[in-house]
Amino acid sequence: MRVLMLSKACLVGVYQRKLEELAAEPELELVVAVPPFWRDERGVTPLERAHTCGYRLEVLPMALNGQFHLHFYPRWGQLLREVQPEIVHIDEEPYNLATWQANWLARRRGIKTLWFSWQNLNRAYPWPFSWWERYNLRHCDYAIVGSQTAAQVWRAKGYAGPLAVIPQFGVDPVLFAPPQVRAGGPLQIAYVGRLVPEKGVDLLLQALQGVLGEWRLTVLGQGPEEQRLRALVAAQPWRERVQFRALIPSVEMPAFYREIDILVLPSRTRSNWMEQFGRVLIEALACGAVPVGSESGEIPHVIGAAGLTFPEGDVVALRTALTRLVQDGALRQELRARGRARVLAHFTQRQVAQETAAVYREMLASVESG
């Protein structure tokens, strides 16, 4: 079967391991189209060519790059004619222009289509987004969503077709693996991600006031909140314990996770956003770091019993969780073991690829039986 996937997320090198695993599935010929870069509040993310064996990676120019809802691909129709796929996998939300464009042009050629969604809030969109969404809900052969909450949202919005719950990406447990020996010294705490209000990094900084013991904090990320967060740290007597670092290439992230002991994801739900998964959690778990997360969205379901959670916005509860982990080495060791086992059981790239390939086979089987 010949599959053409459209995915700006697959710019990221470590995500491409899923593509290699997909391409290794029997009788699957895979072409993946990505833009040359993506621009958002963190800056420009360029294409990383890290894992490109077994499939064809096609770079397509993107119009309106950086516009999450409005970007599209002027050469998409040309690529469809060249590849002539049996299935088009659109790795985009159904209310986006790129999804409508890719879906409409594929269906004009009689190609089976599916789209992917993380959307876990039932939001009403104005025209034209509502029109694109309505078209994509009514005209596709399958949907893949990243969580049970997202599945509930799209069923409530009227999607009645076949649907599978599969995370967009897993982790490669060989690349993301614990260190053979843990370094001594102060406990290393980290936040990884966008520096925006909904991610709650300011809550983490407040919680660290009063956490006794030897610890250091690394804030790895970029975004509009950076200067405000730096000012909050500068006012603290423990400011020398905190460092801010810019984003690093995805292929360097496993080494970073191996250097930390605790990863904190203190997200806050907003009217237009709730944590959809928290990919940094499974990356950290795979590398033996203990996660501490708020109860926003999917975070507690991803962490399970492999870390600690706290009510959203509760600085005291976050401080208590951090204090427990800083002071209790046996608890950290137990949670590290649970975390690695949890990733191996539920969140590997191979598992995600196998489940995705099963969806493709089901789509083609429905054609043959029909």
The span from the CA of 189 to the CA of 215, in Å, is 7
Residue 171's DSSP bridge partners are: 348
End-to-end CA distance of the chain: 17
Name the residue with tokens 């492999």: 306
Fold match, 2-170+349-369 / 187-346: yes
Q: What percent of the chain has pLDDT over 70?
A: 99
The answer to whether the beta carbons of residues 200 and 314 sit under 8 Å apart is no
The pTM of the full predicted model, rounded to 2 decimals, is: 0.89
- Tell me the average pLDDT across 351-356: 97
Residues 6+ apart with CB under 8 A from 82: none
Q: How confident is the model at residue 307 (pLDDT cuts 50, 70, 90)?
A: very high
**What is the per-residue pLDDT for 368?**
56
The 10s digit of each residue's pLDDT in 114-160 is: 999 999 999 999 999 999 999 999 999 999 999 999 999 999 999 99
- Tell me the average pLDDT across 314-340: 97
- Tell me the average pLDDT across 299-323: 97
Q: Is 178 helix (H, G, I), strand (E, B) or coil?
A: coil
Phi/psi at 245 (5° precision):
-130, 145
Phi/psi at 360 (5° precision):
-55, -45
* pLDDT above 70 (res 283): yes
**What is the per-residue pLDDT for 296?**
96
**What is the per-residue pLDDT for 181?**
83
Q: Is 158 helix (H, G, I), strand (E, B) or coil?
A: coil
Name the residue with tokens 């033996």: 288
The 10s digit of each residue's pLDDT in 20-68 is: 999 999 999 999 999 999 998 888 999 999 999 999 999 999 999 999 9
The span from the CA of 277 to the CA of 246, in Å, is 22
Structural domain spans, the chain? 2-170+349-369, 187-346
- Tell me the average pLDDT across 300-307: 96
The span from the CA of 236 to the CA of 245, in Å, is 18
**What is the per-residue pLDDT for 174?**
95
- Tell me the average pLDDT across 69-74: 98
* pLDDT above 70 (res 370): no
CATH 3.40.50.2000 fits 2-170+349-369, yes or no: yes
Tell me which fold the domain 187-346 belongs to.
Answer: Rossmann fold (3.40.50)
* pLDDT above 80 (res 216): yes
**What is the per-residue pLDDT for 367?**
58
- Beta strands 187-192; 308-310: pairing state: unpaired
Strand order in the sheet with 187-192: 242-245, 215-220, 187-192, 262-265, 290-294, 308-310
